[in-house]
A and B are shown apart, each in its own frame.
Chain A
Amino acid sequence: MTEEKIINYILKNTKGYDCHIILTSYKKNLTRFGDNEISQNVSSTDISANVRITDGERVYKFVISKFDEISIKDAISRAVSNMKMTKKAEFIPPPTTSVIKIASDRYFDESVSFISPLDRASRIKKFLNFCSKTGRLSYGTISNSYTVFIVANSNGIFQRQKETSYEYEITVNKDGAYGKAVGYSFKDDINIDEINEKALSKSDLSKNPIEIKPSKYTIIVEPLAVSEFLPFFGYLGFNALAFYEKRSFATDNLGKKIFSEKLTIYDDPSDITCPNILFDLEGMPRKKIVLVEKGVLKNLVTDKKTSKLCNMPYTGNSVFEPNAFGAIPFSLLVESGQRSLQDIIKDTEKGILVTEFHYTNVLKPKTIEMTGMTRNGTYLIENGKIKKAIKNMRFTQNMVEALNNIEEISKESYVFKGWWSLIKTPAIKIRDFSFTSSTEF
């Protein structure tokens, strides 16, 4: 069955109920390499439909992953009888109706869907050979995928997005000196040579690291490292449910300046350089939402339930309701500054340049107090120059406070794939950032 036929068949067989369907069909390919050779090489084709039915009193969600007529009917009949066993719902998401219809292939590049396993191997072979010949080790992935995403319901909503994604990441290691660089695009336009060169020069710069005392330092967090901690702000802070339950930094702070005036963050589906889904999982078209403007916490993201609870407009940030999680920004974009990263480094008397954070986790959700390690290139800056590589350190830091201590934001920004969405961010210079221990490499 085609995707459209599947949707129609589900809707036909759930007549009498309000029905909501999220259908995802994809082919994902990934080549992984380690120690200069391909270690894993995979391709996965999958189609599944997340379905919600409601009889006006109860609500039930289920997955259909077999798409012959009998299997679809079986899944629906099981769902209907299970729904009867649940308790009456406290909140039934009202059906999405009368919204602008979206049928988008804006973030689709056919050539990405055609990248073959042989192409992926060919694109990395030369550099992996170079690493072997020069006593270096390389590790990373090159991947391409093609996804069709449809949100439909029994009230006539039919939103469809077709998209591709292409990603390359590489870590280079020579005798324990690591460097990493990544690239992401929906088009077949990643400059792999440039990324390899960046990882290589970072690795070369990481030789013979010195140990410095864990303490408070001014740090320059490169975009890759920012993309590691920023998602925590998304689901713990900007989520209206966390606000409502008084476990977000936004509680009592909406409309107040709690971050540096240099910081502006928004969720924006329209930025072509940060490709993203154009509607939420309830089928509502997304729009640009200013979350932080010049340090002032301006808005939160809502879904159908939290917009009601918090008496805020529904922003189109729903993740298949009902759920215990709340709403999320689907993309997080940090506004760029005026000067280049190089110029920011030049103006730094003493500081630490961080390439990547590793294994970050939250200790206190309300202030986004986090811990994590530095990784793949950590350097000491003295008198405007990168002086030496330093051994990795653990930070333990209130990140709301850290984003209030911003000294500068770089002009250049990059796109990264986060847990659930894309992040576009420049580098950020932060004063008084707290490192609490060190490690042996």
Chain B
Amino acid sequence: MKEFAKKAVEIMNFKKVSFGDVRVIEERVQNINMKNTELTEMRDDITLGFGVRVLYNGGWGFASSNIMKISEVENVVNRAIEIAKASSMIRRQKVKLAPEPSYKDIWKTPVLKDPFEVSIEKKIDIFSKINEGLLRNNLIRIANSKMTFIKTHKIYMSTEGSDIEQILYYSGAGYNATAIDGNDVQIRSYPGGHAYMLSMGWEYIESLNLLDNVEKTSQEAVSLLSAPPCPSDEMDLIIYGDQLALQIHESTGHATELDRVLGYEESYAGSSFLTTEKLNKFRYGSDIVNLVADTTLPGGLATCGYDDDGVRAQRWHIVKNGILSGYMTNREFAHTIGHKRSCGANRADSYRSIPIIRITNLSLMPGEWEYEDIIRSTKKGIIMENNKSWSIDQKRLNFQFGCEIGWLIENGKITKMVKNPVYQGITYEFWRNCDAIANEKYWKLYGVSNCGKGQPTQIFKMSHASSPARFKKVKVFSR
């Protein structure tokens, strides 16, 4: 792999590109899915390829291939240069990269137990027990369980002299139960609809206590069939875990990706209402809202030593005491907000893709409340758990989320389960109405492993940690 990368850098230097980098990536992915009693997927695949990015005449060019021949390196570099020349035909100004030292380093996800060392039989056995438990109730028609393990071995080299080797691990497991009665279809999942993966080893799977949650998951899916629908009203909303992770992801994370803010994502996922003149001025949330981006966070799916610009991992505020304080940046766009250095949020989902700005690990920092006190001090409210549907407008203002389950709170007490709960809001109004965040005891990390952006579309992973939080006067209803 290193020979390929060295050869690419050698050719790029010979061709006198203004900047060039290469990523050679070998990735092993193990996927196991079981639906009811059938093993519907059992794969363990290894892919290998490389992507070359060059700046030439101030324009970008990117080309990739999985034909691993030294002769192909030259083809791919030449193709990238040809593309960069075409890009430079339509540029207002030449691309200039924020400076970053060159690094020679090896970085590896700290892993206690290599998930690929755990036998396939053991994994299948866990699934068999989970699905058997979920299907014990006759109203559960579908039991789905899945595990994913990824090991990404990435060599990054640039014409600036960086030579970085990273070995990144991701492990995930989760399941869901679907109860069906006539036209009513209800689902419960564990640990969450999206949140099933973190950047850890097999120890993460063990920490999930998968089998201990089977009965509760199955029972709740069935109970939802006879539960009343969520009332249509304005009330206090308490969210946490998987759902709060997605709220942070959609309404803060994407809204602060600087390429979107500047218009470079408009043709697909959209832009952002958080335009750059609002930096350090705009009241995004209440005083207690602190949102921190952190690519050094242990276990985070975006945690790494270096991003795909070769920038070292960092931690920075996106929202500080309620005020917009930062963006997700890369070396190309950092200067547009007066920053001399990139925050290190440029990533690609494979060797086939060009790095673009992606949400990193972005977390809501803990508050001071005990969770029980948040509930006790809520007169009329609802707790919603685990995301079921999500949608937000192209500027990240109007959002609507549906959850698997809701619990009504009346006069400080949880009174009943409700089904099909949905809430809707406008991003900054919602965050400004955040009046309680539970303390660090409840602070937990959740993964989002299916985030789409870019053209061609790239699917990437990141994490969001939070404690349960309360938002006042939210429009809720049933669907």
Interface on A for B, CB 8 Å cutoff? Answer: 28, 30-48, 60-63, 65-66, 75, 78, 82, 85-87, 89-91, 116-118, 120-122, 124-125, 128, 132, 137, 139-141, 169-171, 173, 245-247, 322-324, 358-367, 369, 371-373, 375, 392, 394, 396, 436-441
Contact = CB atoms under 8 A, between A and B. Distances in A.
A439 B456 contact: no
A323 B183 contact: no
A421 B68 CA distance: 30
Contacts of B188: none
Contacts of B393: 358-359, 373, 375, 392, 394, 439
Nearest to B122: A85
A44 B352 contact: yes
Given A85-B121, A137-B263, A45 B65 contact: yes
Given A42-B354, A396-B479, A118 B456 contact: no
Contact of A44 (B44, B63, B391): B63
B82 interface: yes
Interface string B419-454: 010101010000000000000000000000000001
Given A128-B90, A139-B263, A438-B398, A82 B391 contact: no
Given A117-B82, A363-B479, A440-B397, A43 B63 contact: yes
A358 B395 CA distance: 11
For the complex of A and B, list the 3 residue pairs with the smallest distance between their C-beta atoms, beginning with the closest. Answer: A117-B86, A34-B264, A439-B398
B112 interface: no
Given A120-B86, A440-B397, A371 B183 contact: no
Nearest to B29: A63
B38 A91 contact: yes
Contacts of B47: 48, 63, 65
Contact of A173 (B45, B124, B142, B266): B266
Interface in B183-239: 183, 185
B91 interface: yes
B51 to A, nearest CB: 8
B394 A375 contact: yes
23 contacts: A32-B267, A39-B259, A41-B59, A41-B60, A42-B354, A43-B80, A61-B41, A78-B44, A82-B120, A87-B39, A139-B263, A141-B267, A358-B393, A363-B388, A364-B185, A371-B391, A373-B391, A373-B392, A373-B393, A375-B270, A375-B394, A394-B400, A439-B426
A305 B59 CA distance: 50
B275 to A, nearest CB: 11
Contacts of A40: 60, 62, 264, 354, 356, 454-455
B378 interface: no
Contacts of B61: 41, 117
Contacts of B42: 60-61, 82, 86
A137 B263 CA distance: 9
B48 interface: yes
Nearest to A392: B393
A177 to B, nearest CB: 13
A42 B62 contact: yes
B137 interface: no
Contacts of B41: 61, 322-324
Contacts of A137: 263, 266
Contacts of B80: 43
A78 B28 CA distance: 13
B400 to A, nearest CB: 5
Contacts of B141: 245-247
Contacts of B392: 359, 373
B450 to A, nearest CB: 12
Given A38-B91, A85-B120, A439-B426, 16 more contacts: A30-B456, A40-B455, A43-B63, A43-B83, A44-B63, A45-B65, A61-B41, A65-B45, A86-B124, A117-B85, A137-B266, A139-B263, A247-B142, A324-B35, A373-B393, A436-B400
Contacts of A396: 400, 422, 479
Contacts of A358: 270, 393-394
B399 to A, nearest CB: 9
A34 B38 contact: no
A363 B37 contact: no
Interface residues of B, number: 84
B257 interface: no
Contacts of A246: 141, 180
Interface of B: 33, 35, 37-49, 59-68, 76, 79-80, 82-87, 89-92, 119-121, 124, 128, 141-142, 144, 178, 180, 183, 185, 259, 262-267, 270, 273, 352-354, 356, 388-395, 397-398, 400, 402, 420, 422, 424, 426, 454-456, 475, 479
B32 to A, nearest CB: 9
B202 to A, nearest CB: 17
Contacts of B91: 37-38
A360 B83 contact: no
B44 A82 contact: yes
Nearest to A357: B391
A372 B395 CA distance: 13
A30 B124 CA distance: 41
B39 A86 contact: yes
Nearest to A251: B183
A360 B400 CA distance: 11
A366 B141 CA distance: 14
Nearest to A29: B83
Contacts of A120: 86
Contact of A140 (B62, B267, B273): B267
A137 B271 CA distance: 13
A437 B59 contact: no
A34 B86 contact: no
A90 B38 contact: yes
Contacts of A363: 388-389, 402, 420, 422, 479
Q: In this complex, which of A47, A63, A75, A375 has the most chain B Cβ atoms within 10 angstroms of its Cβ?
A: A63
A39 to B, nearest CB: 5
B92 A36 contact: yes
B420 A364 contact: yes
B48 A66 contact: yes
A34 B90 contact: no
B267 A63 contact: no
A173 B266 CA distance: 10
A65 B455 contact: no
B265 A34 contact: yes
A369 B479 contact: yes
A38 B93 CA distance: 11
Given A40-B455, A41-B86, A394-B393, A436 B424 contact: yes
Given A35-B263, A38-B90, A87-B39, A45 B44 contact: no
A41 B83 contact: yes
B394 A124 contact: no
Given A32-B455, A90-B37, A117-B86, A361 B389 contact: yes
A235 B85 CA distance: 42
Contacts of A140: 267
Contacts of A128: 90
B120 A47 contact: no
Contacts of A372: 391
Contacts of B62: 40-43
Contacts of A323: 40-41
Contact of A366 (B68, B183, B352, B356): B183
Contacts of B356: 40
Contacts of B454: 40
B83 to A, nearest CB: 4
Contacts of B46: 65, 75
Nearest to B93: A37
Contacts of A375: 270, 393-394
A322 B259 CA distance: 40
A361 B92 contact: no
Given A40-B62, A173-B266, A33 B90 contact: yes
